[in-house]
Amino acid sequence: MRRLAIINLLIVLGLGHVVGLSWHINREAIEAISLKVFSVQGRAAFELIQTARHWNAIQGKVYVPVSEATPPNPYLRNKDRDITDNFGRKLTQVNPAYMTRQISELLQGSEIQMRITSLQPINPANRPDAWEAATLQQFERSGQLERVERIGGRYRYFAGLTIQPECMQCHEGQGYRIGDIRGGIGFSVPAVQVDQLVSEMQQGSSRIHLLVFVFLSIMGVSLFSLFYLVRSRLSASVKAQAELQQLVERDELTGVLSRRALMEQLSTEIKRSSRYGQALSVLMLDLDHFKRINDSYGHPSGDQVLKETSNVLLRHLREVDFLGRYGGEEFTVVLPNTACLQAEQLAERLREAVSDCRIQLPGGEQVQITVSIGVTSCSRGELDAEVLLAHADKALYLAKQQGRNRIAVHGQA
């Protein structure tokens, strides 16, 4: 009896150790999920700010009335920074950087904080803190453009900004070139906001582990049963993490690659193209007049159009091609081992397929849509994802300028 009691005690202690280890592993996995959750939130906020900055930049110059909240920007030194309108009001130019800083100042005092910063700030107020400076230096060494961490009681997300052609007006004198990392935008929120999203998972995990321990201790299962259960639980944990990874890599609405997964795939294909000397092409597609659909039929109808359009594109792409949602109504296609002429032909087939499609909306209406497509290809001397996407975007802009529902190739007049 004494020996049996000792064996039973050892079994209980062994089970407690194994279940405790499993609980610890699951808790770490759940904490990692919280970082992924905030990474998605931070990326969405960054893309929203980037869209606003892009809008500001493509307007040429944006002017607002001078006020106490918006004085002239002393770090913007172009001669037409300040003007007077027909009503005698004094106006001052608000460039993307000034606009971003004003938004960050409006957020001061709230739980969400935003900062724009640089290792070479024109505005001294934009000097980075220690974490931001280390992050920017890491970006310059590694080429990465995103970092997320939990520091103290806050989650911090930081994404890099690269020099685009429209940036050179203000930054050329600092020695930057197109594509250089010139700074970044960071967001932070109290950790409790993100932790609440996974707290139920943590509680559920604790309850499950406690029940497993009590059940196994009472039943006194054999070592084989213990091994089988632990293996099953570990498999379930791996499956849950795989499902989470699937959510991160796929666009929630259309099911195609997310922007982050698309950029990773493009980087992989660029490396493969460089290694084997293969051609590589990229298509940038934009739904023509998509805003009219949202305005006329509502956003659920707009979502239906995006899903159906992605399905049409997938049906007409090759198995080796990669389709991702770049943002809003923009899609990007990566075409491995594809020269420019082949890419043009495929782009034309996609354009025709979308144009021929009639989409049934939730309200019963049918709509016909068209797409404009920008085409670009990279040579061995142009193996850079940002530059390649910028060329495709310029070609897309040209296609829209020429009347939409057409393709344009980067480099053509």
Name the token pair of 371.
């797409």
Q: Is 201 exposed, middle or buried (0-12, 13-18, 19+ CB in 10 A)?
A: middle
Mapping DSSP to helix (H, G, I), strand (E, B) and coil, where does residue 119 land? coil
CB 278 within 8 A of CB 400: no
Q: How far is C-alpha 133 from the geometric centre of its chain's CA atoms?
A: 22
Clarify whether 319 is annotated catalytic.
Answer: no
If you search the block for the tokens 């020269």, which residue do you land on?
339
Query: What Å distances lie between residue 263 and 45, 50, 286, 358, 373, CA to CA?
Result: 18, 16, 18, 31, 19
With helix as H, strand as E and coil as C, how does 225-259 read?
A: HHHHHHHHHHHHHHHHHHHHHHHHHECCCCCCECH
- The catalytically annotated residue of 269, 308, 329, 344 is 329
Q: State both tokens at 13.
A: 């202690």
| Termini Cα distance of the chain | 93
DSSP letter for 361, please.
P
Read off φ and ψ for residue 218, nearest 5 degrees: -65, -45
The residues pairing with 374 across neighbouring beta strands, listed in sequence order, are 284, 408
- 371-378 vs 407-409, strand pairing mode: parallel
Q: Please give the structure tokens belonging to residue 164.
A: 């685009």
* Residues with catalytic function: 329
